[in-house]
Structure 1
Amino acid sequence: MQQFIDQQKQFVEFSSSVNSFQMKAKHVFVITTYKEQWLLTSHKKRGLEFPGGKVEDFETLAEAAKREVYEETGGIVGELTEIGEYMVHDQHHPFVKRVYYADIQTLHEKECYFETNGPVKVAENILDMVQEPEYSFIMKDEILPIAIEIIKQKKLLKSSL
């Protein structure tokens, strides 16, 4: 279990296992690649980030991950791999988020990307980029480097991203 304080001054715990917390995951965060590039979404308020969101009552976490990726980027998920979970100990609304990695098979252009401006492809090392002001606060804490290290250890990346 890894622990840190995030950009919002919240205590966060990350586990590379799923179902590690007493609270169930009701949110998803999906680290995505497409054609050897990182696939982000441009959130209208927060900036550049990986797709994610809340799980609807009628769906599983994996279904929510695939839906969120499609809604926010137009991407069709190929293989979806669990990376872990993290709990944000928000004083008023604590929550657990499941982290996935997905390589996108197809990218469809859409008229509406819901709360985002659609997909953004990044070929550079994402960890070198996330401190730039156009990136969301969600990208700036320890979750992303931890998750990318696990993705690399599992040899899920098809390129040297």
Structure 2
Amino acid sequence: MTYEFSGALPNQHIVLSKECLIEEANCVLIFAFYQGKLVLARHHSRGWELPGGTREVGETVIQTVMREMYEETGGELASIERIGQYLIFENDSLAFVKNVYISNVSILRELPGGFETNGVMLVDTIPNQLEIMNDPTFSPLLKDNVYLIVSEWIKEHSFAHC
């Protein structure tokens, strides 16, 4: 099944699927769990959000997942599983191809300095969309239907209950 909806930012359109829509992703989004708790990173200007980011030249997508997780949370991953992909169109042009991953964090180290995040929060239960929409401390990037739909997909996943 494929979902289509407006993005969190103006002039965005999103296509989301559990299937791979385009072979090479240039970004990642990570639903990471440490001891059964969802890991959120505090972006210095956007607020609380899921770890993720842009693939660097020469990196595999899995290397991007591991690097972004470490840079944004200090987390080292034990397991990584792709659970979906979404395309972000801006003004009708494809801007981002994001693979969505669920992961199990083996170790949370001290947050490394010099990156764009300045805090980590472990959440006992996955926040619902209404909580996120009504809380200005959450990033606007979490306020689209990607988070809403994928959080439903992962509720029963074993990583969310370790």
Give the TM-score, by structure 1 length. 0.89
Aligned AA (1:101): I
TM-superposed deviation, 1:8: 1.0
Identity of aligned residues (%): 31
Stretch moving more, 78-87 or 2-11:
2-11
Where do 5+ consecutive residues of structure 1 fail to align? none
Decide whether the 8 Å contact of 1:32 with 1:102 is kept in 2.
yes
Aligned-residue CA RMSD in angstroms?
1.8
Distance of aligned partners of 1:83 and 1:111 in 2 relative to their CA distance in 1, 3 Å threshold: closer
Q: Deviations over 1:40-97 (max 9, x none)?
A: 0000011100111100111111110111000000000111010111001112662111
Q: Give the SS at the match of 1:89.
A: strand
Please give the alpha-carbon distance, in whole angstroms, between the structure 2 residues aligned to 1:65 and 1:111.
16
Deviations 1:72-131 (A, max 9, x none): 000001110101110011126621111101111100013415011031112243125312
Three-state SS of the structure 1 residue aligned to 2:71 is helix
Q: Distance in 2 between matches of 1:90 and 1:139?
A: 17
Distance 1:125 1:156 in 2: 12
Matched, 1:149 2:152: yes
The residue type equivalent to 1:105 in the other structure is: S
Q: In the TM superposition, what are the counterparts of 1:27-38 in structure 2 within 5 Å? A: 27-38=27-38
- Of 118-127 and 36-45, more deviation after overlay is shown by 118-127
1-structure distance, mates of 2:57, 2:85: 19
CA displacement at 1:24 relative to structure 2: 3.0
Equivalent pairs, count? 157
Cα separation, 1, equivalents of 2:52 and 2:58: 17
CA distance in 2, matches of 1:113, 1:31: 23
Distance 1:119 1:57, change over 3 A: same
Gaps in structure 2 of 5+ consecutive residues = none
Is residue 2:74 matched to residue 1:74?
yes
CA shift, 1:2, in A, is 0.4
Task: State how far apart, in whole Å, the 2-side matches of 1:117 and 1:82 are.
Answer: 26
Tell me, what secondary structure is at the counterpart of 2:63? Answer: helix
Amino acid at match of 2:46: R
Cα offsets for 1:113-152 (capped at 9, x unmatched):
5011031112243125312100001111111121122223
| Residues in 1 aligned to 2:120 and 2:157: alpha-carbon distance in whole angstroms | 25
Q: Which has the higher strand share?
A: 2
